[in-house]
Structure 1
């Protein structure tokens, strides 16, 4: 690409502005290539700074700018937490992980803080049963869902890892031999496995609604010459409705081979050249015009110099420059608060604001911890026990459990203690319930381990603790309680929150949990230097 940018060709009809942009982009790419050997987090931050993504988002007037900034922060955080399988955290390993995450993972966290009564646009990959009152499933069309695309095989694509080397090899088809019959059988088994994976995906999608599920399909697309019919899943849904003496509101079979596409004769008139004169573009053009009018060498306008508004702008600029110089000379570095915090991060912010600021200024990958991994497995076991486990195994997700389980035998003992405890046979209202709480503009995210509905209609929130020390911070429960109450339109006193220490079997319900105003005051008073 750099070579093409350096020499785009004299015979091609590029404007002078375009050629200038080619030169600038080539210069940026060359500078970035010299930094490939840097730590991966430093390289990502250098890319953000050099390409000006952060400046573009900060100056954007788009309503989606705030969410885009949050997503950029979440991406940088994901890079900081990335750990390669072989321990070599480099650019190649990060790109391979992102590609694998895009193809087979659950997707990176996305900033979607919203009110409880809003519409959520989500994929089905993170779906859990009975998660929403009403769910719409569009696009259940032939060859779309289930998809007719097969995954690449390691027999034909060199970049695909062989089955025997994968961690989930026992769940995948195995190549029995190297005869044509064996290869054909392996291909058929692969297609059957892909079909089963699609069926599992459909199961979690169809069971996501508590009360109402709306499934729809489409027949025509501008890119198709022949129409498509309803998929096998939609047909199965119709057959299930028939057992309840119900019919779809509308139904259409696949169009015939000779049926014309409604898009065939559609002529769309588009203006040319395209007018990009949005409000943001006009604002930038105005700023560029002001800069050009102030080019050195042109005669000064005495009236502008004497204009009080212009002098006031200069004073404001001088104050900002002096403040910037003061920060540069200061021995302390001010770190801006991230747009999104976890519940545990709020507790750490109160306990150690300076350490919290250091982690924000230079996040470091977390060292592998077998104790944390076993703790996460205990939480996953609780989810599976009550039938609300995530679609993919969460063993490798960092930071979701206490680092208080020593080994496999200790994990088995904790399971035994839980099964003999008071919550063994009590079915929760929800497990791993996600929330996004907004405190005076600061988003606080998290997941509540378990939520129980009490006979009187109130709720009990439980946070499982597998550690031996009973020193959990009640601030975490205060955040959970307020988030659940506001998410469901309840009074705070209708929600209780407690720690359940699995080893001792004790239920600890701290008194005097922080209120909304106290949590806001905590965030406002935090000094992150």
Structure 2
């Protein structure tokens, strides 16, 4: 049990204790390292603790969305997402411009701000029907300038993002005498190109967009190259952010980036929002999380800082009468366990008195709830529990009293209870002031991002003396090492080892590393050589209808995918096809009872970003909408040669002289040879349906309906059974083995979204 003068000293002590505990187990087996967690009452306590852990190079994981958004790599990703979707977020663009990726200097940033202001003045004058001022003439002649704006911009202030999109012409100088340097223009053009490329993928899956942003920012490589850090562990915060994106997409059924950003902002403002527990405890990192998120988990060592009165326990009242958005307690299912306001309305004084009684009951109830929460925190530790508080927190002048929970634990120490130890305990003087109010941390900017900034910390000690501490860059000397390694790569080795053979290098001081690198290089070269050899592969016994088309269209690619299956790249086209098929299925399912136009909200789930409302309207006006289908999404299976081919027919309709099978398509219309090959899917469906219903194949027709173009395509030369079997037989000429000899399980390809 300890109490420190400031929360900064408290965070330093916690980090020092964790560092010592981890150092004591250094060099042992990974499973010997104790699991550790720092549990905070509120997420607002995370930042000083995170900074101290980082200063000591202690690997840590921030659990929960609130803390994740403040980590540098996640903050950069969120900033880029704002730039892509909101022209008013100049702050987000400024973060990127001043960061390690583009490193725009102060002079160029100021000049870019001047250019943004000039654009805004030009918009305002154009909206009033006035001619531009001479100083603003360039605003209509900048790079990519279009027709003059005739209405005020939607952004009510100068936008750096707009300025980036329309950079000033060469030689432009603002009214303040500032211009963007040639190197600054080059970097701004590079950023503009990256932003435009990223905007082109905004319609893809949300996680795909985030991955593309990571790649453009170089975060994937930067984190993987962190010295002394496991690449998988280095990505822990970005992976946690990806998990949040997956949760959002699964919950809301949308991949809209702007909606995701709004969700992040709302969740971060809610103190108890998204308090997700970690998937598991970790030995390779210290986990930083709230007490609420720790329920049900245990760690070897647990640290609970911030045990101050009004912090933990919290002074915030939970009374429903204080917030209009809260459900009145009498209406809750657990009303019997909650304090109730017995309002006495005979007169005003009685009403006030009854409310005071209710407020006292709520205060006691809240204290009991906080005690339960403290019990959760204190019982998470298996072998070591450290409790602490501080006299001052942040820059507040208020003296914090010790938490009653901390005082009760201290009584056990003073009573010499076994297993309890006392740490440093500070009692403030009556006239004590918070030294952190006079604490300043400064650094020269811009600085070398490879080494980090040199910090100057000015603070006042407890006895009133001012002290100045210079903190060296966290990675001083790293630039020199990096440049030396880069020269070695260009010159094919370091000067003192360039002429040595692999065997001589393997016997040197870095022999283990050399041996591992050589083995990895041999594996990569062997893999490349093997890919150029002709090899056979077992044909699966079952394939999908789309796989049969792939056999005919690109047999080499089909075989390559069997040898090394790769996931398909997600995209808006695939999502559009899937969503439209779902809409059609619901359309025909509902139309038997209601007119689709009468169904309230029938199109609410259709993603407007994929242009599905237009596709739905086109379908309603097509002949298919008025027909009654015999079947929708009919599964079929039939043998073709030595294979069994499975598929799903989108719709089956009865005709005057037989049957018609229809496959809905949301993509472009193929032509010529491509259409003929794709019609193999219809041929397979026709053959399977004819066999299933025991009807002549001549009585079954098939068609593609390309919804976007509102065009029906009926191939007249669909392949028969013999031609389909020929497609399968031809694969054995390019490296397949008989499926009867296959020992591998059947490979089932996912059906095409089309």
- TM-score of Structure 1 vs Structure 2, range by shorter chain: 0.3 to 0.5
Asked which structure has the greater CA Rg, the reply is 2
TM norm structure 2 = 0.32
TM norm structure 1 = 0.43
